Structure 1
Amino acid sequence: KVDAIEFGSGISANDILLNRDSDNLVLTLKNSTDRITVSSYFSQDATSNYRLEEIRFVDGQVLNIDTVKSLVQQATDGNDRLFGYAVADTLSGGLGNDSLYGYAGNDLLQGDEGNDTLYGGAGNDTLIGGADSDYLYGEDGDDRIEGNNGNDTLYGGAGEDTLIGGSGNDYLAGDAGNDIYQLGNGWGQDTINNYHTESNALDRLEFTDNITADKLWFSKSGNNLEINLIGASDKVSISNWYSGKNYQISQFTAADGKTLLESQVQNLVNAMSSFGVPAGGESEMTVEQRQQLEVIIAANWQ
């Protein structure tokens, strides 16, 4: 049995817009208000009893299920909602403020232009925000989440995730699992919320590019730990660091391969505050103070 929609004379495939609305398929006649909604078409990835096998046109063109599933994943210049399936999908939002849903599978989601919202779903996904200010949710799985340009908000969700804010003033929250935060040159003024409930969490903050241990200035700001890049405006604030271990990051690594453990962080905070210069103010230190700082850095960064 083959269920089908047949369009009459004067209507070709080019005259019909196909969109997905949740699990429904919506067919709209261009330049009109006419539409057909096929309820639950995409239920179980269009394999359920609600499926419609063919969409037919008088010129002989036929759209089968696989073709429809592909067409509704194509972005427009507007604000799109694109959905993946239970496979490894690649979704790109293009222009507009888009919402992309990966669902199951190891997906690649790219927001491109606009203020986009990306949901990885289950699987080990890669989420890339692109330009403007985006919201990225890794959800389940070991995800790689990149904000790129703009002031982005990144949530790792469950799993061992890698969060990269990129340029702009970003908010990063690893959530559950052993997560990695990466900051490179020009990272902006970021905030990390590393709250976790696991007692054995091993989260890490990695400084990449040419950011070596001697370029990082540690200070306390209220209840937060602040790390400034010396000689630049870049800084990262780790929220509620001084509220307890559930907010702290287990280790820090610098581009020169050196590692700083969470138990050694306060040594640097105390030493740097004792010099009486502002955060990142190494240029105001005396020669003697610089020499003292080098000894402290060498003793704690291994």
Structure 2
Amino acid sequence: MKKHQLKALIALAESGSIRGAARDMGLSQSALTKTLRELETQTGAALLVRASRGTRFTPAGKVLVDHARLILTSMRRAEEEVRRISGQAIATARIAVTPVVAVTKLGGIIHEFQRRHPQGQLDVETGTLGNIVPRLLDGQLDLALGIATPEALPADLAFQPFTEVTISPVSRSKRFANRIVTWEELAGERWLLNPSPGSADQVALDWLTQKKITLAHPPTLCRSPFLLAALNRSTDLIAFCPPQILNDSFWGSGLCPIDVPDLPPKMQLGVLTRRYTPNSLVSRDIIDISTRLIGSI
């Protein structure tokens, strides 16, 4: 497979049509079609289904698109790394953090990164595990820092734990104040969750299932950290929350911990990386910084 063939495949996935992909790549439709047919010949598999209503990917084509994104991203990162080492480019890294890292240690990580790389550039975003993992798998991110359950993550991801954190139920409602509230009572309330595989919320739900406790109502699902904070403050929905977030003046504003008889198991907080892709020197620097700072939470 050649680089231009993989680019053509991704262009088709992003544009949704042969015409749009050809326009984006500056090619004629016939030239793009020929490139895609050559790719099918080389792989020995039908990658596309062509019909009057447009072109769609076969299951084999969908798999190859995912690999193509990662291959091209890895090639670009390798080129960036070589240019940086040879003095042609600045140190760059693209990372994501979950709220508990954003609230507690992100400022320190950025400060130490800037000290080590005065001309470097750190591209940071925040998210939940559900929207971070896909971006890490396809190479859009170099690494992610957050809470995760290693055994529930995709096999292509590696997880290095730094420390453990607890999670407990919280709400802005004062109905649960000054008393111990049973999980059975809480299960009858309305919840705000993001139960993606490997996440703290999913671990807590699995733990409740083991206790034979089931939520009485479908939870409101939310994958945006900012929206989670906004809904926590504007509704009486119950959510799971680490104490580090609850104690923060912005993220924990207006929330109260709910006193329960017992808590879900502690969660591991650490760094997620792609298992089969070498970490750049800059990424290894960030991991080193994070190991020291996050380990002190």
When normalised by structure 1's length, the TM-score is 0.26
Which structure has the bigger radius of gyration?
Answer: 1
Q: Between Structure 1 and Structure 2, which shows a larger proportion of strand residues?
A: 1
Q: Which has the higher contact order (CA 8 A, sep 6+)?
A: 2
When normalised by structure 2's length, the TM-score is 0.27
